[in-house]
Amino acid sequence: MSLAFTKMHGLGNDFAVLDARAQRFSGAPALIRSMGDRQRGIGFDQLLTLHRADRPDCVAALRVWNRDGTRAEQCGNGLRCVAAWLARAGEIAPGVDARVQTDRVVATVRVHAAEDVEVDMGVPDFTPAAVGFAAAADAPPQRLDVADMTLELRVVSMGNPHALVVVEDLAAPALDILGPALTAHVAFAQGVNAGFVRVLDRAHLALRVHERGAGWTQACGSGACAAVAALRQAGCVDAEVEVALPGGALRIRWPGAGHPLWMRGPAAFVYEGEWLDADA
């Protein structure tokens, strides 16, 4: 059997988008690992599969699969790419709000153009329980021993778990050790996306993210949202912030507590393909 897919990326965070409404897809972890292999497969950070939504107000349901075959609850860059994919397929009208169902939330998406997509990422949740974190105290920042270092971190759920650490140097060699170690730390029941953020000024951040199941990524949309939410809660940034990631910049808007957070950025089409070695 074979599987048709579209290769896309959001600022270098790359995906294979597969319409599982139109073809059978097993979701077997071994299959996803084979597809995600960058030498022998398609190569991607995440596989995005579209399904029929349970809710009549949603155009489709999205499932997110990490390159290692595990599931992810949310993916901001993936939502933008799926919204652009649905718009190109004529299922979303340009400039008109539409809804996409995910594992955790119903996300409102607004496609201005393929290179300009907005996503409502929901209301940030700062409680340690929301990210499966065994915190010694609820009040941030929390302290955690990681790889023989004690880190001060802030945790936030954007539908998926994030831990943010403020740093002065995003190129520090220690981050190469701290990223994987924090992601897999036993204090987080389901693992965590580890973000290292530098505050440039009240309207600009720089960020690197080590993702669960994918490793260091060129861009992490939910991670950018989490960084802005955590630092706005701490009083460090304003309501509108540009977040620079290795692959490019995202614009984040969050009025504050009780309000949804919006992310805006590009989604790019790369090529259409067919996975031929598929045990689907």
Residues identified as active-site? 75, 220
SS (H, E, C) 173-236: CHHHHHHHHHHCCCCECCCCEEEEEEEEECCEEEEEEEECCCEEECCCHHHHHHHHHHHHHCCC
Q: What is the DSSP letter of 279?
A: -
Q: What is the DSSP letter of 96?
A: S
The answer to whether 278 touches 31, Cβ cutoff 8 Å, is yes
Nearest 5°: the CA angle 24, 27, 28 is 120
The answer to whether 45 touches 217, Cβ cutoff 8 Å, is yes
Nearest 5°: the CA angle 180, 184, 185 is 110
CA torsion 265-269-274-278 (nearest 10°) is: -10
CA distance 117 to 107: 13
Assigned token pair, 161:
């778990």
Task: Give Cα separations from 29 to 35, 38, 66 (angstroms).
Answer: 10, 16, 9
CA distance 83 to 98: 9
